[in-house]
């Protein structure tokens, strides 16, 4: 089945060939048919979505102004606050939470007339790489339902890949947009840290988290990023910089673009089929006039250890608020105040969240702070310096998104180290605060998607998206869809 592109849907909506209600209803019908097996959406507001669609159709028919996303249905990862809507982070801890406010990105979506259909399944508190830690159960890959959808934005990636919605929002702390996009054969982008406000994003690791778009093609991701990016005074890390019209610069040719290849991205542990597909993509760039250059990222071998020390330390701090008194699940039976804390957190958090809280608390504890957390911060700077040096010679860096295609559900769930090592190519982007994107670049012999990762200097989303889009102009991998 061929799914229409974002541009095609917008053209049909603006011309009147398609109404927002009809498009929204078709998405709701598809959710009804497929979501029971895929488990991408964990909350659907069908009535609210149709009301939004009807209002957009009425205003469009009356000649009133409408937003850039007018009539396009969209899903939101369930760690992003939406007023009076269940926002659980895939956790028992927040099973009854309905925020009294919208996240900044949700405000932006409403202003641009997106039709918000519902909330999408994440790993619990965005801690995971397979969307198996959610209290709602695992999300299944539409290409092979025995396989992982990736994580932690697995629900967002599956919803787009299976045609449940054309666009979705996810969050990326160490690859949580790009890796599921790779596993599901769609486009997923992590913007520069600070490009998109984190106000209303329930924090995992505050210095690493970033909200970003998932779409069927680069144009859709660019359009959605245009709508959600911009300064927000409520987020102290939000950058006060202009938001370019990225959709207007996508057609610039590849001739003269310098693409860097790091040997560290093609080392032991990389699946042979993944490497073949990525190297074939490099040949496409070279044939189109881009030049290929070797670069070095020598400290990337420390990225996994550095990331999990920093992320878990920040998680330990951020999740301390969920104690059964200030926020979150409260135990029904307890003996005293300390027991209330212990019982509430024990019942409310799942195994992976507890593991990361304990790792972070240990790393921050007296006597270990300098040896672990402080040292990780110093290595983080060295990783950022590697990228800065490399980008003096190239415009973007290309490589695989993940060492393997989608793995079997349950295969790594009880092997945390194997799961963590699957993030080896994505986490450096977050540690350095850079933008990165995954675009489909092929299928394995078993018909599982492979993603190509492109990384660019901070705030150079324009070049990143241009290169990614031009690759899609020259190939058809993004048009491949799962049989659903």
- C-alpha to C-alpha distances, 88 to 53, 296, 355, nearest whole angstrom: 26, 41, 19
pLDDT tens-digit map of 416-430: 999 999 999 999 999
- pLDDT band at residue 372 under the 50/70/90 scheme: very high
Angle (CA) 456-148-129 rounded to 5° is 50
Q: Catalytic annotation on 375? A: no
Contact at 8 Å (CB) between 430 and 189?
no
Q: Residue 93's pLDDT is what?
A: 98
What's the whole-model pTM score? 0.97
User: Residues near 343 by Cβ (< 8 Å), separated by ≥ 6?
Assistant: 324, 331, 333, 334
Question: Has residue 253 got a pLDDT over 90?
Answer: yes
Question: Has residue 437 got a pLDDT over 90?
Answer: yes
Query: How far is C-alpha 392 from the chain's CA centre?
Result: 28
The DSSP letter of residue 175 is S
Question: If you average pLDDT over every residue of the chain, what do you get?
Answer: 97
Mean predicted confidence (pLDDT) in 179-200: 98
- pLDDT band at residue 122 under the 50/70/90 scheme: very high
Helix, strand and coil content of the chain, in percent to the nearest 5, comes to 45, 15, 45
Q: Residue 326's pLDDT is what?
A: 87
State residue 203 phi and psi, 5-degree precision: -70, 140
Six-digit token string for 473: 């102009």
Question: Has residue 394 got a pLDDT over 70?
Answer: yes
Q: Please identify which of the residues 77, 119, 190, 412 carries the catalytic annotation.
A: 77
* Domain 6-256+471-479 grouped into CATH 3.90.1300.10: yes
Question: Has residue 2 got a pLDDT over 80?
Answer: no
Query: Residue 116: beta bridge partners?
Result: 74
Give the number of C-alpha atoms closer than 13 A to the C-alpha of residue 197, restricted to the C-beta side.
21
Q: Catalytic annotation on 152? A: yes
Mean predicted confidence (pLDDT) in 8-20: 97
Contact at 8 Å (CB) between 190 and 172?
yes
- pLDDT band at residue 1 under the 50/70/90 scheme: low
Q: Residue 308's pLDDT is what?
A: 96
pLDDT tens-digit map of 78-95: 999 999 999 999 999 999
Q: Residue 484's pLDDT is what?
A: 58
Mean predicted confidence (pLDDT) in 176-182: 98
Q: Catalytic annotation on 412? A: no
- pLDDT band at residue 294 under the 50/70/90 scheme: very high
Q: Please identify which of the residues 129, 130, 152, 156 carries the catalytic annotation.
A: 152
Domain ranges of the chain: 6-256+471-479
Cis peptide before 152 (omega within 30 of 0): yes
- CA-wise closest residue to 26 among 94, 73, 80, 83: 73
Q: Please identify which of the residues 129, 153, 171, 176 carries the catalytic annotation.
A: 176
State residue 208 phi and psi, 5-degree precision: -120, -30
CA dihedral 377, 382, 383, 389 (to 10 degrees): 150
The DSSP letter of residue 192 is P
Q: Residue 44's pLDDT is what?
A: 98
Question: Has residue 293 got a pLDDT over 80?
Answer: yes
- pLDDT band at residue 168 under the 50/70/90 scheme: very high
Q: Identify the residue whose tokens are 């350095």.
A: 432
- pLDDT band at residue 357 under the 50/70/90 scheme: very high
Give the helix/strand (H/E) hosting 468: helix 461-474
Q: Residue 3's pLDDT is what?
A: 86
The distance in angstroms from the start CA to the end CA of the chain is: 8
């Amino acid at each position: 089945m061929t799914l229409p592109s974002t541009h095609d849907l917008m053209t049909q909506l603006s011309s009147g060939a398609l109404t927002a209600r009809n498009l929204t209803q078709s998405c709701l019908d598809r959710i009804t048919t497929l979501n029971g097996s895929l488990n991408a959406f964990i909350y659907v507001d069908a009535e609210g979505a149709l009301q939004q669609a009807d209002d957009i159709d009425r205003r469009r028919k009356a000649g009133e102004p409408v937003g850039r996303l007018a009539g396009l249905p969209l899903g939101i990862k369930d760690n992003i606050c939406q007023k009076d809507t269940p926002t659980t982070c895939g956790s028992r801890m927040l099973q009854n939470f309905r925020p009294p406010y919208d996240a900044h990105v949700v405000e932006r979506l409403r202003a641009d007339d997106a039709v918000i259909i519902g909330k999408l399944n994440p790993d619990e508190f965005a801690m995971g790489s397979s969307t198996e830690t959610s209290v709602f159960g695992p999300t299944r890959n539409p290409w092979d339902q025995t396989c992982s959808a990736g994580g932690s934005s697995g629900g967002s990636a599956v919803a787009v890949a299976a045609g449940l919605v054309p666009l979705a929002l996810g969050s990326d702390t160490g690859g949580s947009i790009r890796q599921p996009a790779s596993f599901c054969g769609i486009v997923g982008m992590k913007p520069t840290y600070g490009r998109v406000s984190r106000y209303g994003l329930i924090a995992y690791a505050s210095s690493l988290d970033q909200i970003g778009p998932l779409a069927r093609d680069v144009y859709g991701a660019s359009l959605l990023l245009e709508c959600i990016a911009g300064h927000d005074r409520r987020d102290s890390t939000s950058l006060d910089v202009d938001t370019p019209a990225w959709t207007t610069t996508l057609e610039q040719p590849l001739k003269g673009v310098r693409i860097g290849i790091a040997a560290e991205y093609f080392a032991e542990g990389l699946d042979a089929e993944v490497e073949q597909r990525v190297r074939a993509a490099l040949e496409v760039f070279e044939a189109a006039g881009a030049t290929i250059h070797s670069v070095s990222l020598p400290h990337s071998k420390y990225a996994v250890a550095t990331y999990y020390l920093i992320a878990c330390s920040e998680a330990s701090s951020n999740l301390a608020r969920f104690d059964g008194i200030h926020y979150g699940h409260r135990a029904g039976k307890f003996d005293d105040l300390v027991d209330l804390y212990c019982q509430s957190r024990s019942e409310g958090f799942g195994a992976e969240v507890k593991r990361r809280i304990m790792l972070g608390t240990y790393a921050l504890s007296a006597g270990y702070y300098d040896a672990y957390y402080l040292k990780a911060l110093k290595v983080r700077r060295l990783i950022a310096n590697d990228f800065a040096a490399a980008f003096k010679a190239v415009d973007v860096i290309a490589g695989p998104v993940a060492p393997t295609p989608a793995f079997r559900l349950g295969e790594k769930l009880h092997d945390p180290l194997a799961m963590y090592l699957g993030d080896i190519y994505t986490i450096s982007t977050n540690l350095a605060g850079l933008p990165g994107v995954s675009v489909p670049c092929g299928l394995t012999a078993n018909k599982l998607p492979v993603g190509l990762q492109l990384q660019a200097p901070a705030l150079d989303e324009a070049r990143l998206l241009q290169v990614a889009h031009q690759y899609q102009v020259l190939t058809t991998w993004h048009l491949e869809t799962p049989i659903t």
